[in-house]
Amino acid sequence: MDQKVTKEQSDQIDSSVSGLFWAVLKRDLMLAYRKKSDLFNPLVFFLMVATLFPLGVSPEPTFLAEVAPGVVWVAALLATLLSMDSLFRSDFEDGTLEQTLLSPQPLFIVVLAKVLAHWMMSGLPLTLLAPLLGVMLFLPGEGMGGLMISLLLGTPTLSLIGAIGAALTVGLRKGGVLISLLVLPLYIPVLIFGTSAVQAAVTGLPLAGFIALLGAMLALGIVMAPLAIGAALRISVSG
């Protein structure tokens, strides 16, 4: 009888946690859809960087093909960073964040759902748009697969790391610059391995090692980042 009760309670807990995750994810996606400027600003910035770079440096196809992996990755990194300040801002201003911290709901699940929603509205569109930028920058066709895979693994890590900075600065009026100072050093490994994966694909070298490293960083971020984000939110709200 005790085992049966324990199993039923476990099923109820799993169901409630799953329901909480999907409820938070759905809510944040709906809010992001209503604020279309927050949705399109990173994409417009992403396109502007790739469009203006040839005009400011050199339009020569050979040169652009050589630097295309780095340009696309830097543009994706900066575009992701551009949208980080709004991740917890609205919840902080209307008191939802404080109520979430005081509630018995598992903060790990809430934070993970919010970061996933942010990635779906920023990192995923950037990943889908990347091949267009690759074509604009004369990236060889051999590198398109490496570009897509590296961004698909790297952009969620950028969102997880950036969310830590957003949580630490949520109580500040102008935390955008401070977020950049906090998280840009942590972005460097993702940028290096992501760019290296694309370059390896272009030159025909094995890229499995770079993809494995990006996947390992993503797995570590999923496990550790929500804990750091939750602690940072408590510090910011209580402070």
Residue at token pair 């050199």: 58
Helix (H) or strand (E) holding 132: helix 123-136
Entry pTM: 0.87
- Where are the domains positioned within the chain? 12-238
Q: Which residues of the chain have pLDDT under 50?
A: 1-5, 9, 11, 13
Give the model's pLDDT for residue 7: 52
Please choose, from the candidates 197, 223, 230, the residue with its C-alpha nearest in 3D space to the C-alpha of residue 97.
230
Give the model's pLDDT for residue 73: 92
SS3 180: helix
Give the model's pLDDT for residue 4: 45
pLDDT tens-digit readout, 175-222 = 667 787 888 889 999 999 999 999 999 888 888 999 999 999 999 999
**Rounded distance, CA 186 to CA 188, Å?**
6
**Rounded distance, CA 22 to CA 17, Å?**
9
